[in-house]
Amino acid sequence: MLLLAHRGASADAPENTLEAFSEAVRQGADGVELDAQVCGSGEVVVCHDERLDRLAGLPWQVGTTAWWKLQRADVGTSLGFRPARIPLLEEVLDALPSHFLVNIELKCAQVRDGGLSRRVAELVTQKGLSERVVISSFNSMCLFRVAAVAPSLRRGLLIHPDRPWAPQAHLLSPLVSSHSVHPHHSACTPERMEEWLNAGLRVAAWTVDAPERARELEALGVSYLITNRPGALREALRSGRQDPD
C-alpha cells in the first residue's frame, strides 16, 4: 500500500504548496495528492478552495483571479505556517522526484470546466508522466474529457460520501474509471472492496491518519492511502504503534 501525502504533507506544511510537497518528499511518502483548477487568466494552479477566505483571508475567487494576482496571496500564515504561495501545476510536477506517484484531483463543480481537463491531460502527456499520474475528480464530465484528449491516462472517480452511492459506484465509475476508484475510507467495506478489486480497479482511500484504520484498509486491499501525515503514519505502521505520534 502506497502512502500519498494529502495536499502534500499538509499537517506539517501549508497545503498544496511547494513547501508541503517538499515536506512529503522529506517524510518518505510514495507520492502526493493535489488539487488543480484553472485561474482567471487560464493557468492551471494547485489550490483546493474556490475562494481564498480560509487559506489567505482574501475574498478572491480563484477561477476569476489572474495568476499574477494570485501569486500575491499568502496561503501559509492563515494555516499557522510561514508565508507560502499558490504554485502552478507545472511547477509542482517539475519539483517532484521522478519516482513519485501524483494523484491530480480536478476541481470543478460545473459541467463546463474552462479547459481544465484538457490542459491537465496535455501537460501530463507532454511531460511524459503518464506512468506515474492518476487523474481523479468528483466531476465525471472532467474524466470524460480527459479520456477524450488522452485515452491512456489513468483515471479514477472520486466517490462523494454525501451523494447517492449506487449511481456513483455502479453507473459513473464503470464509465470513467480506467485505473482506480477513490472513496472516503469509511466506504471501504469488505464487500465493496471485493467488487472493485474483481473489476480490476485499484482503490485510493482518503483521508486516513490513524494507524489502526490504515492497517485495516491495507488488509482489505487498498492500493493508495491518502494521509495528511505520511512520515508519522509510516513510522507508526512499521513500529506497530496505535498513535501516529
Nearest Cα neighbor of 235 from 226, 227, 223, 244 is: 244
Catalytic residue check, 6: yes
Q: Cα angle at 90 between 120 and 224, to 5 degrees?
A: 65
Q: 487560464: which residue's cell?
A: 42
Backbone angles phi, psi at 32, to 5 degrees: -135, 155
Output the 3-class SS for 126-168.
Answer: HCCCHHHEEEEECCHHHHHHHHHHCCCCEEEEECCCCCCHHHH
Q: Which among 241, 183, 233 is positioned nearest to 12, based on CA atoms?
A: 233
179 neighbors 154 (Cβ within 8 angstroms): yes
How far is Cα of residue 112 from the mean position of the Cα atoms in its chain?
20
DSSP class of 170:
I
Residues of the chain with pLDDT under 70: 241-245
Q: Map grid coordinates 470546466 to a residue.
A: 113
Contact between residue 8 and residue 16 where contact means Cβ atoms under 8 Å apart: yes
Is CATH 3.20.20.190 correct for 2-239?
yes
- β pairing state of 31-38 and 2-6: parallel
Domain boundaries, the chain: 2-239
| Collapsed DSSP state (helix, strand, coil) of residue 239 | helix
- Closest alpha carbon to 40 in 81, 15, 73, 77: 73
Sign of CA dihedral 140, 213, 47, 109: positive
Among residues 48, 160, 179, 184, which one is catalytic?
Answer: 48
Cis, peptide link before residue 17, omega less than 30° from 0: no
What are the CA-CA distances from residue 132 to residues 117, 165, 217, 226 (Å)?
A: 17, 28, 22, 16
Over residues 80-129, the pLDDT tens digits come to 999 999 999 999 999 999 999 999 999 999 989 999 999 999 999 999 99
Which residues 6+ apart lie within 8 Å of 223 measured at CB?
Answer: 1, 2, 180, 202, 203, 204
The DSSP symbol for 13 reads S
- What pLDDT, on the 0 to 100 scale, is given for residue 128? 98
At residue 240, the pLDDT reads 78
Beta bridge partners of 88: 45
